[in-house]
Amino acid sequence: MPDSPALADSLHTGSQVRQACRTGEWTGPTCGLAAGYAQANLAILPQSDAYEFLEFCRRNPKPCPLLDVTSPGSPVPESVAPGSDLRTDLPSYRVWRDGERTSEPTDILDFWQDDFVAFVIGCSFTFESALLRAEIPVRHLELGSNVPMYRTNVETRGAGRYHGPLVVSMRPLSPADAIRAVQITSRYPGVHGAPVHLGLPEEIGINDLSQPDFGDAVPIHEGELPVFWACGVTPQAVIMASRPKLAITHSPGCMFVTDIRDETLSTG
Amino acid sequence: MPDSPALADSLHTGSQVRQACRTGEWTGPTCGLAAGYAQANLAILPQSDAYEFLEFCRRNPKPCPLLDVTSPGSPVPESVAPGSDLRTDLPSYRVWRDGERTSEPTDILDFWQDDFVAFVIGCSFTFESALLRAEIPVRHLELGSNVPMYRTNVETRGAGRYHGPLVVSMRPLSPADAIRAVQITSRYPGVHGAPVHLGLPEEIGINDLSQPDFGDAVPIHEGELPVFWACGVTPQAVIMASRPKLAITHSPGCMFVTDIRDETLSTG
């Protein structure tokens, strides 16, 4: 039975999660698996499109903090998971053609090209671990759901053909916890860092928090503020807006689990 | 003419401000004087009451970060302004008897007792300089008014006879500036540090931002959040609540200007 709680409990390392993805045993969200290991967003493009995307990431480090970029044609992110294979080691992928999602396979062996470059982008799961250690509750983790994510009216800084809206994830927090969360996540610039916004969603073009563009809605209790972080799903919104001929990403929530520990991404 | 702009422009150091206060030339708010020098809140108590107040400050470091405590009977805070005299070197004082303000003199030579202990408490002016350097606008400085301060429904942690409400200062900021302000002021634990609250004033018992308990109201523009820091006027609210037989404080906004530079109070 895929994605069973018993299987989840047996996946303690990045390598174990990747193996379960590779064999098809695990095809669902990776949230909560291999606690302490950094998870990552994925974007894959042909080399001809890769330079501009690399520059796009450099210009937008909050949504697109690069943990690794593969050599053209290699599916191995050498610095974060040397023994892995990005073609098989994620639970689920999205294939995009001209900005439209055309399929959602569980591996991309049939789609792989010798000129592909893979961008491994930091993920907020890393700082969520730090929030939990500081006894700051994370609503979507309590509910066992995916974090709510929203397209904003904030434009990323474009590079070449790449442009599009900033996507943010949202966590409801009490004001005191929001302040602590700014302090804590500031120490993790490699995984989106400090929030980009809080308290006034309409100021960034979010008019209905109960209707996220990705992930699941979560309740916001009285006395809580919505706190927004730049999100690694931004590349998917950028692919939709920029319409490259071919691109592959992870499915939201179904991340690449690396071999590096969350704490190696903390500045202090 | 006391408190003239021309005089203000000539007061470049803590020593110069203190001298102008001592001679009676300067009797008004010290905001903007001697840029770069740390200013401080003042609370003076007889030694018999001082131990419990010292413990009160230790238990409440956000509103009462101690920069210096004088030896009993000495009006000289040796570590922050060795050549100064706390009896004359502030523009204006408040004398409190049984928790009631009984006078507001420009010196306290006639009130001084051989058993007085003075508590020199960090002031938010220090982190306001840091905010301005980061191009974060500070509304009350733009308006040339005193910062708005509010009694909250948050109780300080009491010590002996001392108890009372936390007082907070408020600065309206855009969400992005509020996040930066948390980062910046976190580096200044000696002058109240990070905010204690933001965005939801009613959660801490503030129902009308246009009616501050101390200082002047400031407008909050659309797209801004009220951001609240623990305030060094808290000891005055505590004196009102705890009713010691005799206490002396500075008048709100009329601070003690030290010889130490703001940046010596930064952690990094």
Output the pTM of the full model: 0.87
Domain that residue B26 falls in: 5-123+242-264
Closest CB to A183 among B178, B186, B203: B186
**Average pLDDT for A227-231:** 97
- Domain for residue A268, yes or no? no
Residue B2 has pLDDT above 70, yes or no: no
Count CB atoms within 10 A of the CB of residue B15.
18
Work out the average pLDDT over B245-251: 96
Q: How far is Cα A209 from Cα A148, in angstroms, rounded to an integer?
A: 8
SS3 call for B185: helix
DSSP 8-state code for residue B154: E
Q: Confidence band (pLDDT; 50, 70, 90) for B242?
A: very high
**Pair A23, A46 in one domain:** yes
d(CA B179, CA A21): 38
Q: Do A197 and A224 fall within a single domain?
A: yes
User: What are phi and psi for residue B187, nearest 5 degrees?
Assistant: -80, 0
Indicate whether B43 and B119 sit together in one domain. yes
Same domain (yes/no): A112, A26: yes
Banded model confidence at residue A3, pLDDT cuts 50, 70, 90: low
What CATH number is associated with residue A161? 3.30.2040.10
CB atoms A200 and B225 under 8 Å? yes
Is residue A146 situated within a structural domain? yes
Terminal Cα-to-Cα distance of chain A (whole angstroms): 41
CA–CA dist A244, B257 (Å, integer):
61
Helices (H), B87-170: 125-133, 139-143
**Rounded to whole angstroms, how far apart are CA atoms B168 and A64?**
37
Task: Work out the pLDDT band at A6, boundaries 50, 70, 90.
Answer: confident
Nearest partner of A173 among B239, B179, B170, judged by Cα: B179
Runs of H (alpha helix) within B117-193: 125-133, 139-143, 175-186
Average pLDDT for A47-70: 94
- Report the alpha-carbon distance of residue A249 to residue A94 in Å, rounded: 5
Average pLDDT, chain B: 95
**CATH code, domain carrying A50:** 3.40.1640.10
Distance CA A31, CA B86 (A): 59
Same domain, A134 and A224: yes
Classified as helix, coil or strand, B60 is coil
Give me the residue label for tokens 């301060």: B149
**Test mutation, A152, A174, A179, chain B, max B CBs within 10 A:** A179
Q: What is the mean pLDDT of residues A68-96?
A: 97
Query: pLDDT of B181-234, one tens digit each?
Result: 999 999 999 999 999 999 999 999 999 999 999 999 999 999 999 999 999 999
Q: Looking at residues A195-201, what average pLDDT do you find?
A: 98
Those residues of chain A whose CB sits closer than 8 Å to some CB in chain B are: 174-176, 178-179, 182-183, 186, 194-200, 203, 223, 225
pLDDT at B1: 42
Residues on chain B touching A170 (C-beta within 8 angstroms): none
Q: Is A80 a member of any domain?
A: yes
Band the pLDDT of B245: cuts 50, 70, 90: very high
Please name the member of B179, B183, B198 whose beta carbon is closest to the beta carbon of A175: B198
**How many distinct structural domains can be found in chain A?**
2
pLDDT of amino acid B218? 97
- Average pLDDT score over residue span B154-175: 97
Query: Is the model's pLDDT at A32 over the cut of 90?
Result: no
Contacts of A186 in chain B (CB under 8 A): 183, 186
For the stretch A153-169, pLDDT in tens is 999 999 999 999 999 99
B155 forms beta bridges with: B165
Predicted pLDDT of residue A5: 81
pLDDT of A10 strictly over 50? yes
Q: Give yes or no: residues A247 and A118 share one domain.
A: yes
Q: Which positions in chain B have a beta carbon within 8 angstroms of at least one beta carbon in chain A?
A: 174-176, 178-179, 182-183, 186, 194-200, 203, 223, 225
**Within this chain, do residues B249 and B185 fall inside the same structural domain, yes or no?**
no
What integer is the mean pLDDT of B59-72?
A: 95
Q: Which residue is listed with tokens 């690694």?
A: A232
Q: Please report whether residue A266 resides in a domain.
A: no
**Portion of chain B with pLDDT greater than 90, in percent:** 91
Average pLDDT, rounded, for chain A:
95
Provide φ and ψ at A49, rounded to 5°.
Answer: -100, -5
Residue range A89-140, pLDDT digits in tens: 999 999 999 999 999 999 999 999 999 999 999 999 999 989 999 999 999 9
Helix (H, G, I), strand (E, B) or coil at B231: coil
Same domain, B103 and B79: yes
The per-residue pLDDT for range B12-53, each reduced to its tens digit, is: 999 999 999 999 999 999 988 999 999 999 999 999 999 999
Calculate how close chain B gets to A259, using CA atoms only, in Å.
30
Residue contacts between A and B (CB atoms, under 8 Å)? 57
Asked whether residue A59 falls in the same domain as residue A111, the answer is yes
Please report the pLDDT score of residue A52 as a whole number: 94
Q: Is residue A152 in a domain?
A: yes
Q: What is the pLDDT of residue B6?
A: 87
Question: Same domain, yes or no, for A10 and A108?
Answer: yes
Chain B residues within 8 A of A223 when measuring between CB atoms = 200, 203
